[in-house]
A and B are shown apart, each in its own frame.
Chain A
Amino acid sequence: MITGKWRRRLAKLGLYLPLTMAAIAVLFPLVFAVGTSLTSPADQGTYPPKLMSWPPYFKSYPEALTIAPIGRFIWNSFIISTAVTLGQLVTASLAAFAFSFLQFRGRNLVFYIFLSTMMIPAEATLVPNYLTVRALAWTDNYLGFTVPFLATAFGTFLLRQFFLQLPRELYDAARIDGASPFRFYWQVVLPLSRPALATLGVYSFLHTYNMYLWPLLITNSEKMRTVQIGIRMLMWDEALDWNRVMAGVAMVILPSILLLIFGQKQLIRGLTAGALKG
């Protein structure tokens, strides 16, 4: 006979066992990458395979940095991702504010047209965007990296859904107190929408940070390359040293992991906002 205490323990086991397995599956590539980066060239290819050398082989990191200027790539990616994130937060929040609080003819139609752009595959816009950027002489330039991504339909949709949850009477109260729509947006809507803004910020940063095809397309010089291309450069070396590649990967993913660690609370709140009505 299973007592209540054991039933609770079994229920916990039923919950934590799959969660632990999922966590291992998610974390394994990361642990494997860091472990490989700390493996000496001599220990690579041994059987049975080693997760890492002992003592750890830290030289992979300076070696990786001599093969490709990873620091410069991280800097480029960081600048571009920050600029795109800030741009998207500004444009998406303003557009979302207009679509949720301002009354104008054809508002819903414009919003649906805006939304429908999400259905266009990014690959389909690649060539026209490239031609435009080239015509503007923005190739090999931060402008070419950032300007095409400053507005986002997804971000506008995400923030609009959040803004629609704010009581309409707040807007009326602000208006009758003499506030302009922008003042209401700035002093009330933005402070109340921090979870949604953080969600969009984290999403946008990571998405831009991990871009590969577009930076590859519009950059010619090495000093303008971004991190994903940098990793690829490590793999173009004559001998493929996985410890160096993984050292590069470990350095490159560090900002993303830090962002996720510090932003996960807001990210979850933002993504689940409106999912449950309490």
Chain B
Amino acid sequence: MAHVKIEGLNKFYGSKHVVKDVNLEVAQGEFLTLLGPSGCGKSTTLRMVAGFETIDAGKVYLHGKDISGVPANRRGIGMVFQSYALFPNMSALDNVAFGLRMQKAAAGTIREKSVKMLAEVGLEQVMEQFPYQLSGGQQQRVALARALVREPEVLLLDEPLSALDAKIRIQLRELIKDIQQRHKITTIYVTHDQEEALSISDRIAVMDKGKVVQLGAPDEIYARPANRFVATFVGTLNQLTGQIVDGARGVLDVAGQKLTVPTLAGKSGQVAVGVRPEKIRVLLNGAAAEAGEVALQGTLKSAALLGTIVRVTAEVGGAEVKVDVLNNSRLPGLTPGAQLSLGISQENLMVLE
């Protein structure tokens, strides 16, 4: 049985249908991420699970029990907010202890558990400090400790890292994942950052316009996106649009260059195919495409060093194609305007519907 089950969830704001028939199941101890652009309904879905928003249609089950009408404070859920939502008039310790006090736990237990939880997030040194005396990263750690100290059945995180700078974001997401696995707590995480979602989740539900458009493991979402929206939203994608000139073999004409894409066999008309930048090879020194590869000729526009990779941008038939090449210094000097030959394995070409 799913630990958390979301069944046919719908939400309207006036005449605006913001969450449309969302169905999800989250297993015990699983880390599920709701990923999507701003306004796609992911936070509203999370807030309905938390009990902050009324549900217009549908149900939320916890351990098979319908909790749709249960107030937020009786759902056994912990939540971390984007703005930390720490009580400014209380110290870090008092913020963490707040939930236990509401549970009327014994004073000794409250202190013991709160201190332990703060130590777990690495903040035992600053527990007497007030939120305004802490950095953004420290505040979010306190918020995480506060959400976990009551040992909730489910942890909800609503864009917890989006207000932090890049380095702290990476540190904190590792901490979140580590603590989640240590506590084996069922987690629903909301973000618009696809890199964050791919790195942290057991499964990802990609949302668009209030609907879940794809649900799957991160590698599945990345490698086999269900549609053009998922393909373009998750990761970087090159799109090549052309006319099918041989429907039997699936030959596509992209600005005069012929690409054989077996998955296009039987189709006709204008179609678009996509390929990830790291799935394209720069064919050096006149090397030919290998078996199962298609070759494209292009003109180099730029080559940017991004640390471990070099992002090569080429123009192919009026379209821009990005190629990520490992920065192992085996590439010859790339000068804009140079002719390039690009090799793409046929299996890496995705048909975009």
B42 at the interface (CB under 8 A from A): no
A 164-184 binary contact with B (CB < 8 Å = 1; else 0)? 000101101111111110010
Task: Tell me, yes or no, whether A191 is within 8 Å of chain B by CB.
Answer: yes
Q: What is the size, in residues, of chain B's interface with A at 8 Å between Cβ atoms? A: 26
Considering the complex, which residues of chain A in the window 162-221 have a beta carbon less than 8 Å from any beta carbon of chain B? 167, 169-170, 172-180, 183, 187-188, 191-192
Query: Could you list 13 examples of A-B contacts with CB < 8 Å?
Result: A167-B83, A169-B81, A169-B85, A172-B81, A173-B79, A173-B86, A174-B87, A175-B52, A176-B50, A176-B73, A178-B74, A178-B102, A179-B73
Find chain B residues with CB under 8 A from A191 CB.
Answer: 89
Min C-beta distance of B270 to chain A, whole Å: 47
Minimal Cβ-Cβ distance residue in B for A191: B89
A269 to chain B, nearest CB (A): 15
Query: In whole angstroms, what is the CA distance A14 to B51 when docked?
Result: 58
CA distance A178 to B52 in the complex (A): 13
Q: A170-B87, A188-B87 are in contact. Are A177 and B73 (CB under 8 A)?
A: yes
Minimal beta-carbon separation of A216 from chain B (angstroms): 43
Contact (Cβ within 8 A) A176 B98: no
Contact A170/B85 with A176-B79, A179-B73 known, Cβ cut-off 8 Å: yes
B160 to chain A, nearest CB (A): 12
Give A178 to B98 CA distance when docked, in angstroms. 9
Residue B99 is within 8 A (CB to CB) of chain A in the complex: yes
A167 to B88 CA separation, bound complex (whole angstroms): 11
Q: Cβ of B102 and Cβ of A177 under 8 Å apart?
A: yes
Report A-chain residues with C-beta under 8 Å of the C-beta of B102: 177-179, 183
> Which of A169, A177, A180, A188 is within 8 Å of B99, CB to CB?
A177
Let me know if B272 is at the binding interface, CB within 8 A. no
8 closest pairs, A vs B, by CB?
A178-B102, A177-B99, A169-B85, A173-B85, A191-B89, A178-B73, A169-B81, A175-B72
Whether B77 and A176, one on each chain, are in contact in the complex, defined by CB atoms closer than 8 angstroms, is yes
Contact status B89-A188, CB under 8 Å: yes
Interface assignment of B78: CB less than 8 Å from any CB of chain A: yes
B148 to chain A, nearest CB (A): 12
A interface, size bucket: 10 to 19
Bound together, the chains give a CA A183 to CA B103 distance in angstroms of: 13
A255 to B197, CA, bound (A): 62
Q: Judge whether B276 is part of the interface by a CB distance below 8 angstroms.
A: no
The reply to whether B85 and A172 form a contact with Cβ atoms under 8 Å apart is yes
- CA A177 to CA B88, docked complex, whole Å: 16
Residue of B nearest to A177 (CB): B99
Interface residue? B141 (CB, 8 A): no
Give, as a whole number of angstroms, the nearest-CB distance from A181 to chain B. Answer: 10
CB of B192 within 8 Å of the partner chain: no
Given A178-B73, A191-B89, A192-B88, the answer on whether A172 and B98 have CB atoms closer than 8 Å is no
Beyond the given A167-B85, A172-B81, please list 19 additional residue pairs across the A-B interface where CB-CB is below 8 A: A169-B83, A170-B85, A172-B50, A172-B72, A172-B79, A172-B85, A173-B81, A173-B86, A173-B87, A175-B71, A176-B51, A176-B52, A176-B77, A177-B99, A177-B102, A178-B99, A178-B102, A179-B102, A191-B89
User: How far does the alpha carbon of A177 sit from the alpha carbon of B85 in the complex, in Å?
Assistant: 12
B150 close to chain A: CB less than 8 A? yes
- Tell me, yes or no, whether B146 is within 8 Å of chain A by CB: yes
Q: Chain B contacts of A180 at CB under 8 A?
A: 73
Given A183-B102, A192-B89, are A176 and B83 neighbors across the interface (CB < 8 Å)? no
Question: Which chain B residue lies CB-closest to A192?
Answer: B89
**Assembly CA distance A173 to B75 (angstroms):** 13
Q: Which residues of A contact B71 (CB under 8 A)?
A: 175
Interface residues of B in 139-191 (CB under 8 A from A): 143, 146, 150
Q: How far is the CA of A191 from the CA of B102 in the complex (A)?
A: 18
**Chain A nearest CB, measured from B93 CB (Å):** 14
The residue of chain A having its C-beta at the shortest distance from the C-beta of B71 within the complex is: A175
- Write the chain B residue with the least CB distance to A166: B88
Q: Give A1 to B51 CA distance when docked, in angstroms.
A: 70
